[in-house]
Amino acid sequence: MTVQPDTGEIQQAPVAAFLASHLNGRTDEELSTEFHTLLDAVRTHGKKGSMVITIVVEPPANGVDSAPMPIGVESAVKAPKPTPVKSLYFLDDDGQPVRDDPRQMAAGVYRNTDGTTEFRTAPSATDFKKA
pLDDT digits (tens, 9 = 90+) for 57-71: 999 888 788 889 999
What is the model's pLDDT at position 115?
Answer: 64
Give the span between the Cα atoms of 125 and 130, in whole angstroms.
11
- Minimum mean pLDDT among 32-36, 63-67, 91-95, 117-121: which range? 117-121
- Minimum mean pLDDT among 13-22, 98-107, 115-124: which range? 115-124
Domain ranges of the chain: 2-78
pTM for this one? 0.60
What is the model's pLDDT at position 12?
Answer: 85
What is the model's pLDDT at position 107?
Answer: 65
On the question of pLDDT at 117 being above 70, the answer is no
Q: What angle do CA 26, 10, 53 make, to 5 degrees?
A: 30
Mean pLDDT of 39-56: 97
Q: How far is CA 77 from CA 14, 21, 115, in A?
A: 23, 21, 63
What is the model's pLDDT at position 97?
Answer: 93
Q: In the chain, what percentage of residues exceed pLDDT 90?
A: 56
Give the pLDDT band (50/70/90) at residue 131.
Answer: low
